[in-house]
Structure 1
Amino acid sequence: MSKLYSRTNFLHCSILLLHFFAWSGIQNLRVRASSAYESTINNDETTSSTTTRTKDTKDNNLEPTTTTSNNDIIYTYYEKIDMLNRTTGMSDEEDSDLLNFWKETWKAAGYMPIILTAEDIMISFQRHDDDDGGQTTTTTKSKYFTKDRYDSITSRLNNLNQDDFSRILFRRWIAMATVDGGWFSDYDNFPLRRRRRHQSYFSSPPPNQIAQAGKLHLQEQLPNDGKMTLHDILSPTLASGSGKEWLDTLENMLDDAEKHCQRAAEYRHRHDDNDGRENYGSHNINCFWTDSLGIHSLRTNNNHNQDIPAPKTSRQVAVPFDKDDPVSFNDPKLCSSKNFRNKWTVHFGGEILQRGKYIPSPKDRLPKHRLKLARSWLDQWHILCDDNKTDSMK
């Protein structure tokens, strides 16, 4: 049993290290969370000229309210981390610049990009007194995501006592469930192709959401009939699902995280000298666990027990600075290589910068250089590949 646990622990550690490099250029693996969630940057205007949006209390909380728009909504999530706990090396201004570039690229591709924040979550679950008195309501769009369910999830997540970065990875699932699901993209993940007129960008299209009577209506189905789907293997770099699927998957990941953290605590309690500095027999530890590790665990368990639900996966996200990269080799023929021809987006994550074979400069491997690399790479991609006839979306 001990050997089996060690092998499993080794696998989890290997995945953990890969995932960690996605955001950190330093060797501080265990950063203690110490600050409450902060207010985040405002969204600037991201809608087309045919769509207006009503303001709630901030520009972050905006919805289409008037005439129809052909734009599909794509969400991302951002929370500001205290500078002392931030592992990307990026300033607030650099974060803001990267978010704005994410919005620019998705809007140019024909989509309505929306940045969700911690404040959006809080506003959605604020209690409001009804005019009749006595009764209270919430403004969340999801009929499944009740205030009691939100409170339970928040309490469970806090009890894991994670570092800021790991906690935010789970909170983006809360945000997506709050808006009743849809398409999600990391804000360092960008569309490869501009959508053609009357054609969805995705070969399995995201919802073409239009405003009617102040509410969003889905014209087209999400991939896999709205089942939770990760389009970057085990990571929600690009993900889709109904609100219920985002919520159910989050709760399944929390179940798995609690089991992992308890096993880790018991293991450390047996093998470490307990000098009273940490209570290894409980969850009162800094438990490092991410949503990608949780997805891996759910899918592994699902292979052994079909009753354990796990998200579907696909490979629709391209990797820059690697084999067959048309930009790195300045070769338009590679636009139709298998690593790029059917891909929807390209991801400039920290892990990719760490392992990329053709990064322009060693210093560019740090996460703070993602914007510079993405801007340059995408400019060259559109020159090489936009007019390539083999670059089909079908």
Structure 2
Amino acid sequence: MTDPTPGRALPLEGVLVVACEQAVAAPLATRHLADLGARVIKVERTGRGDFARDYDTVVHGLSSHFVWLNRSKESVSADLKDPDQLARVRDLIAGADVFVQNFAPGAAERLGLGADDLRRDHPGLIHCSISGYGSTGPYRDAKAYDLLIQAEAGLVSVTGTEDHPAKAGIPAADIGAGMYAFSGILAALYDRERTGEGTTFEVSLFDALSEWMGFPLQYAAGSGHAPVRAGTSHPAIAPYGAFAAGDGVEVVFGIQNEREWERFCEVVLDDPGVATDERFASGSARVENRPALHGAIDAVLAGLTGDELVERLERAGVANARRRTLDEVLTHPQHEQRGRFVEVDSSAGPVRTLLPPITFDDGRTPRMGPIPDVGPGV
């Protein structure tokens, strides 16, 4: 593991987390806790362990999901249907500061691992439950895979093109729930420092993703209709999105105000008159006449290389980015220059992975410990 700066520990050093977790949301929350110094004991099923271990085998025989989510943790295995092994897990929790679980609704309570039972005996415990739809309501017991939550929360309805809705390419509902669980645990630890009391709270994937849907929900409630699916374009701004230069390089840019629009026409299109064309003379007019607008832009961009287009956008002061492939992100100059990729150990050998986003300016580095195999029995 990477050692923190001498003389100052990582923020969560000394905090013990026990997690009965699997898949994505709960492991993401606890991995962030481990990054910050917490000791995380991951309780897995006897045998194959967390079923995310079997999602694929592309990282030297390991699962890409599991590698992403589980570094720096200790693994133990347990059959929670066995009374003796369940009792040993309860003993682990008795010494913990935080307990995280993402069993099916009601399962923790049936095992005696619900908040009422555990916090009665350990009032300082922080008890976090993660579920698909929450512990109440008509969808309480519904299956809750990420795709299903993306559909129910409306994300699929606003993603993709006008003709083809699409799911997000990452598990957005799981990530959202994991991050709210992480922030909730941090808040509960802070509250316990002040009051001495633990906290019980829950996070659902549906609630997390519904919160992330705030803009389109407000848009629909205010306008009476949903934002139009427009690929990389924007329902209320034009031009906005990915545009191809003549050499096939795609560059993403968006015009934020009329001053930028005038500069874009003058410098990028080399035709100031386009800015005053009545079809394009205001933001709403450009949205209404988007096909004609794109045609005028594409005609100019066809004569430019990607580098030339970026140079003109920079000269015009228009924010822009390359639409990069994953291979290009893996070698992105920003990551390379800042040393953002490091190696962590695993039973399959070193694995290259990104440092977490929280960067301390005092030189402390996050814990980047090994990816565990399924641990011994409790």
Q: Same fold (TM over 0.5)?
A: no
Report which of the two structures shows the higher radius of gyration computed on alpha carbons.
2
TM-score (norm. length: structure 2): 0.26
